[in-house]
Structure 1
Amino acid sequence: MANVRGVRGTAAALLAAALAVGAAGCSDGDGGPSDAASKAAGVLASATAEAQKKVDEFKAGTDAKSDVRLGDVTKDDGRATVPVTVTNKDSDAKSYLVLVAFKDSGGNRIDTVALNVNDVGGGASKKAEARSHRTLDGDISADIVRALRH
């Protein structure tokens, strides 16, 4: 199993902050629901920018989406999980940053997980698992948003 704590923990913290600010906006009495929605949208935009910043830190990373395969989405205590297989086509060991989006039956993105798959040997494959940050209802699918090899 790959180490997912670093970037995934950051993304989870950003999502929690976004939800907390959105909830606080609903109860502060200074504005109506549209004010709260605006605040939540701003925080989510900020969280998205922070996640993009993490991806941008891999300036030397190479697009490796073709090296990554997803299995079937299942649920574990309501949280969506999907097996991830990374195949390193290079001759030297490489590490990967994989962004996996969970989508509802309408194709709407409802959660995104950043997954580090470290030290995949040259010509070898390594398995990991992406797990949603929260309980997801209904039929869930998963897509690779981005994969970088570094």
Structure 2
Amino acid sequence: MIARWQRGMAGAGLAMAVAFAGAGCAEVGNTASDIASRAVASATAAVDRKLDDIKNGVDSKDEVTLGTPGKDSDGRTTVKVTAANTADSAKSFAVQVDFRDSGGNLLDTTLVTVSDVPAKGSKDGTARSNRKLSGNEVKTEVGRALRY
């Protein structure tokens, strides 16, 4: 009977320790920078999963070009994505577009699908950041691109 009570108290003590530790963590890691870092990590993981799910994709980073970044009416950064299909049949492209600040730090990433690009032709799409990006000079680059 005492052993059961001791286990119960040990469990209650552990629960209290976890609760206090969790309460302490609520104050740590909630700066704007921390939140932005978590958002970028989440977006990157989502893009990686989607690209990894594409079957028989061919690396086509050299077949994709990006225009000059701008802002849409919501204040999010956008950029034109042009996919040039060198294959003999229509193909689709999945393009990871990375948004970076002037120091090269990753601000955001997104995945754009440019569907049904004609054989030996090209087609445009638009990449849009997942959120408003701070800073005046946002640069874009192709992270990965798959033709399928």
Compute the TM-score of the two structures, normalised by the length of structure 1. Answer: 0.71
Identity of aligned residues (%): 41
Out of 93, 114, 121, the position equivalent to 1:96 is 93
Partners of 2:80 and 2:122 lie apart in 1 by 13
**Paired positions, count:** 122
Root-mean-square deviation over aligned CA pairs:
2.5
Partners of 2:65 and 2:44 lie apart in 1 by 24
Q: Which residue of 1 aligns with 2:121?
A: 124
Q: Which residue of 1 aligns with 2:142?
A: 144
Where do 5+ consecutive residues of structure 1 fail to align?
1-27
Partners of 1:51 and 1:86 lie apart in 2 by 18
Runs of 4+ deviating beyond 4 Å:
39-47
Partner SS, residue 51 of structure 2:
helix
Q: Which residue of 2 aligns with 1:80?
A: 77
Letter in 2 for 1:146: R
Letter in 2 for 1:85: T
Letter in 2 for 1:123: K
Partners of 1:69 and 1:54 lie apart in 2 by 20
Partner SS, residue 29 of structure 1:
helix
Q: How far 1:89 moved relative to its partner?
A: 0.6
Closer/same/farther in 2, CA of residues 81 and 36 from structure 1, 3 Å limit? closer
Where do 5+ consecutive residues of structure 2 fail to align?
1-21
Q: Which residue of 2 aligns with 1:64?
A: 60
Q: Which residue of 2 aligns with 1:31?
A: 25
Q: Which moved more, 1:57-66 or 1:39-48?
A: 39-48
Q: Which residue of 2 aligns with 1:9?
A: none
Cα deviation, 1:45-91, whole Å, max 9, x if unaligned, reads 56543432211111310000111010111112321111111110111
